[in-house]
Each structure stands twice: as C-alpha cells, then as structure tokens.
Structure 1
Amino acid sequence: MDRRQRVLNLVVPHGRTGVEIGPLTHPIVLKSEGDVLYADHLPTEELRRQYSGHPTLGPAGIDGIVPVDVVLGEGGLAEALGARGPVDYIVASHVVEHVPDPVRWLREAGDALREGGVFCLIVPDKRFTFDHFRTPTSTGELVAASLAGLRKPPVAIVYEHFARATLVDAGAIWQGRPVRTKPVSGGPAEALGIASGIAATGASVDVHCTVFTPYSFATVLAELIGLDLLPFECAALEPTRLREDEFFVLLRKRTDGTAAQRAASVPRLDPDRHHALPRPGWAARLAGRWRRALA
C-alpha cells in the first residue's frame, strides 16, 4: 500500500469536507476523491514565484503546483476558512516540522475541525533524513515556543538546522551501518554565519524547527495532551515502516473527557525499535518476522 492510500484509509475523504495543507505539486487527496480545499501560506502565483527552480517540485516544476483555495494568515486555518469551516479532516504531509510554534498550529487546526474530525500528519523520522544528527525536540522546547508565541524559527534552531544537516543513505542506516558526517552545505562554520545574519537582521528562513522519531513524537504528544494544551486524542500512530523514512499520526478532535484520558490514547512505543538506530541485522530479522506473519 503506498503512502497516499494509507492517508486515504485514515481520513476517508469520500462524502466529507477536508483541507490539505501545503500540497504543492503532490496533493495526497485529489479533487476527484472528495470535497477538499488546498491551503498554503501564499496565493498560487506568489507560491509559484517563491518555488521557481526549487528541486522538491520535481519534473512538473512550478506549473505543477495545484491552485490554492485557502490562503493561510496570522489568524490560523479556521479564520482563513471562514464560512467554509469547520471541516471533517485535515491532511499535512511534512509540514509540522517547519512550524515555529507547533502547539499553536495544532490548536488552530483543532479550531477548524468539527468535533470528531481528524488531522492526519505525515512526519519525517529524523533517523533516516538529513536531520540524523540533530537531537529530538523535547516537550519543554515546544512549550517554550508556545509561551513565546514564536512566528519564525529562533536563532538556535536556525544554527542547528544548518550545522547538523547531513547527507544520509537511509538504506544503509536500516542495515545498521554507521553514518559518517557529510554536511549538506558548509557545516557549523556556515551555520554560524547564517545564524549571525538572522540575529542581526531579524529575517526569517525556512528550516526544520522540530525533529522527531516515532517514539519521541509519541512521548511529547502524550505530555502535551495531558497538559490539556491540545484538543485531541490519538486515533492512530503508525511508526516508520521498514526501509521508509516517515511515520503517520492521526489525531481526533475530542473536547469531552479528561486530559489524562485523552493522553492515554497515545500508544506506548518501543524505544529500541522506534527511537534507537537499527542494529546490524535488525532489519533483516524484522523483515523475516513480517514475512512469517503474512504467510
């Protein structure tokens, strides 16, 4: 089953109204599959100018960027939707890691959902991406970002992003082979220069503000829900599959019950499998167990 079908199975778009945030050239929910609105931080033409020549767009280039239906502003998704909300589901693939204040962003998503509506997140697993050498984001960092009302990445995060970004071979990591540092750009020296410029000018740059493993995300999510900072329960959390580099989270809006009850919905993951790096031969043993289970 491909990643798109996995999301469709989680949100069931047929006959429902939803939003996909930041689809660019690769929408997960197609217009033919339900009443879906595409949301982004800029109107279509401005988005195409911003991404002109960007390598992530693929062969289609800027012409492949889907028309934006909802332009997100400072007031959040619910305000941007207006009379078109609330909606039944929201999808965001590789978006949450770019958000300076994820707690606020998730709460605003909850405001845009009907009671019982779902928010599907696809989150990169930092172990198998260029964030490999970064430290997983803690609950304290997310609480601090929320209390500070961050609207752009702090200087410390800008530095970490550029200093630690490393070219990795995800297949080799799954085989338990060690990762050698191969800086994407200039490493710490260049990171200091970029961070210094940001500090001096107050400018903003798009970086990964947060990094997670499935285990660290589940741990943080349970604590945030338990603090009653998020209006959700965890409907599903699918850890990173063998030889993949992302995991899937389904949050359901729920405002009844206690925060402790909602926090208990977050599954307890095994840190050896879903946080630590794979050991030599581990992937082969896991694949063998899966084949036996499916036989």
Structure 2
Amino acid sequence: MTVFIAVTVFFEIYWHSTNLSCIAMTGRSRNLRRRCMMRMARNFEFDPAYYTTRYPELGYMNAQEAADHFVQYGIAEGRQGHPRGSRPTFVEHIAALETILEIGPFNAPIARGNNVRYLDVLDAAQLRQRAEACGMDPNGCPETIHYVGDISDIHDSFQGVVSSHCIEHQPDLIHHLGGVARLLPVGGFYFLYVPDKRYCFDHFLPESTIAEVMLAHEERRTTHVLRSVIEHYALVTHNDARRHWIGDHGVEPFASRVPKVQWAIEHYRNAKDYIDVHAWYFTPDNFWEIMSMLYQSGMSALKPVAIYPTLRDELEFFAILRRDV
C-alpha cells in the first residue's frame, strides 16, 4: 500500500546562522519579519482550510494569511495546523499500512492488529513486570514481543516503522536510524512520536546537537554515558505539560541536587543491567535540523519529510521520515 503525504502548504525552510539577528531586526518591516519567522519554521505540514475551520476567529483569512498566522503565532500558541497533527489522527494514518513494526511498545502500543510486529529489549513477561514496578497497567502490554534485542537482529521488511517516545532513548542515534532504514523499502516511512524537551521533565537540559550525535556514533555506544544518567536522575524537573506551557517549569534548590548527582554516579558505576534514560533532547526545530544534516551528509538514508509541532498543553510532536535511498 502506497502512503501518500498530502501537502497543501509545505514550508521548505532551512536553518540559517543568522536566525537570532533576524529576530533582532524584525521591527524594520513586516516583510522582513515574515522572512525571518519562515526561516525558523521548518517543514511543518499545514492545511489552511483546516486551520481556519478549526479556529473560526481566523475564518476571514485567505490561504496565505492563514499560513502567515500559523508561522508567526500559531506554532508558538500550540495551534494545530493540519488534520494529522494530533495523536489520534496520526495513529489513524499509521494504521492504514499493510505491514508495521513498532519499536518499544511498553504498555501502550500505538499500532495493534495482525499486521503489526513489536520490537523491544524486554520480552512480553518482562515488559509486564516492568509496568507493574512502575505503577502502570501491565494489561496494556502486547501479548507477544516478536523481536527481542536490537533492531539489527531483524531480517524482515515493513512498509512502515513507528516508535513513540523511543528515539530519545537510543545511545547511538545513527545506528538506530540505519537499522530502521534497512527494514524499509525505498519510499517506506518511519513515524515518530517525540517528546518536546520544552514541555517535559527535560526542560532545563540543553538541546542535543549534531556534534553529540556524531560523537555517540563514533564511540559506537550501546549503553548510556554517565552524563545522561546524571542528567536524568539529578537535573530534570516535573513532567506536567500544562504547567510548562504557562511558564511554570519548577525550581529545585541547588542543595537537593548534590546528593542526587552523587547517587546517579554510584548507580552508573554499580549498574549490572542496562540503565534506561534519555540520551537526546529534542524540539521540533533541532530534531528537523539534526535529521536533515544526517540525511544530507549521507549518515542516514531517512529524509525528513513532515513534522507536526507540539500542541498546546501537550508534550510531544510528530515527525515522518522517508527512506529515499
């Protein structure tokens, strides 16, 4: 089954080193402001008819005015610019595929059905045990995990691969993307649900960079480094997206972090099993930038083709990568 990505208005935007200076110069003219904002917009898939219908107060706008509003205000306000830009509708888009691999389903798989296979580092029984240990419902875990281990162990192919809050856990991001690409035909898609660091417990941690991604691959990482363990256990904040959206990010006294850092170091040194933490901290912008750089440099066969920004009071955005080579 061919997956067609309908694009009504598609922003082909590239990041420029002058983005900060653009912001400073926005007062010179409305056109300059528009150009600067467009530079920072990325490939957000946008449907002006949907946008003006969903937000009736914008109903008087034509297609270009609606696009301008979305870029200048809508994204920052958490407005939805395309029918596929929410979790329920993104799921429906994935379900149309004939063969699907879901990576890391835990106790809430995105895809279900006879056409779905699951990959995890834990088998089904271990997933249920982990869910119980985390105070979560183990009944949501898949009955069968078809592939246990690393993505490189799979030798089947799929029309699409999906992961939800999984890519940020990969010690070697390039290895992960290569494994996904190997399972897809040319034209196959990787659908991603990605936590936005601005609205989750990673808020105070710096955005990941292409240099860090390259270093992890150069070191052929299979487990998380000490830095990631310390960040996860000692430097995070609350995970309430609604609070983050209104600017309440939480503040922890410096003194309380000292014992947490010490504990994280000891935990890392004494760990006998894999420590599962976030390795990468994404926003829609830096995710698009990193994926684009990896594709254009030949480090990944997956081309970013669409991104759906984070909605108001939510903590995740959605992205689609396509295997082009």
Shorter chain as denominator, the TM-score bin is: 0.7 to 0.9
1:139 and 1:250 map into 2 onto residues whose CA distance is: 19
2:310 is aligned, of 225, 237, 240, to: 240
Where structure 1 has 5 or more consecutive residues not aligned to the other structure, the ranges are 256-295
1:30 corresponds to which letter in structure 2?
R
1:172 and 1:157 map into 2 onto residues whose CA distance is: 24
Q: What corresponds to 1:141 in structure 2?
A: 212
Is 1:23 the counterpart of 2:93? The answer is no
1:141 deviates by 0.7
Matches within 5 A, 1:21-170: 21-31=103-113, 35-55=115-135, 57=136, 61-74=137-150, 76-77=151-152, 79-80=153-154, 82=155, 85-170=156-241
1:171 deviates by 2.2
Distance 1:202 1:40, change over 3 A: closer
2:122 corresponds to which letter in structure 1?
L
1:25 deviates by 2.3
Task: State the SS of the aligned residue for 1:87.
Answer: coil
1:46 deviates by 2.4
Distance 1:250 1:121, change over 3 A: same
Distance 1:140 1:202, change over 3 A: farther
Cα deviation digits, residues 118-161 of structure 1 (max 9, x gap) = 00010000111010100011111111111111011001111112
1:201 and 1:93 map into 2 onto residues whose CA distance is: 26
1:232 and 1:201 map into 2 onto residues whose CA distance is: 34
**Are 1:133 and 1:164, in contact at CA under 8 Å, matched by a contact in 2?**
yes
2:107 and 2:197 map into 1 onto residues whose CA distance is: 23
Distance 1:138 1:202, change over 3 A: farther
Greater Rg by CA: 2
Distance 1:188 1:127, change over 3 A: farther
**Are 2:120 and 2:149, in contact at CA under 8 Å, matched by a contact in 1?**
no
1:23 and 1:238 map into 2 onto residues whose CA distance is: 21
**Are 2:224 and 2:275, in contact at CA under 8 Å, matched by a contact in 1?**
yes
2:164 corresponds to which letter in structure 1?
S
Is 1:214 the counterpart of 2:284? The answer is yes
Instruction: Please report the TM-score for the alignment, with normalisation by the length of structure 1.
Output: 0.74
2:320 and 2:286 map into 1 onto residues whose CA distance is: 16
1:66 and 1:87 map into 2 onto residues whose CA distance is: 19
Q: What corresponds to 2:90 in structure 1?
A: 6
1:17 corresponds to which letter in structure 2?
T
2:111 and 2:185 map into 1 onto residues whose CA distance is: 19
1:203 deviates by 5.3
Distance 1:173 1:89, change over 3 A: same
**Are 1:39 and 1:68, in contact at CA under 8 Å, matched by a contact in 2?**
no
Fraction of identical pairs, as percent: 28
Farther off after superposition, 156-165 or 145-154: 156-165
Q: What corresponds to 1:262 in structure 2?
A: none
1:65 deviates by 1.2
Farther off after superposition, 62-71 or 113-122: 62-71
The size of the alignment, in residue pairs, is: 239
1:130 and 1:144 map into 2 onto residues whose CA distance is: 24
Instruction: Please report the TM-score for the alignment, with normalisation by the length of structure 2.
Output: 0.68
1:204 deviates by 3.5
Task: Please provide the CA RMSD for this pair.
Answer: 2.1
**Are 1:167 and 1:182, in contact at CA under 8 Å, matched by a contact in 2?**
no
Q: What corresponds to 2:64 in structure 1?
A: none
Task: State the SS of the aligned residue for 2:227.
Answer: helix
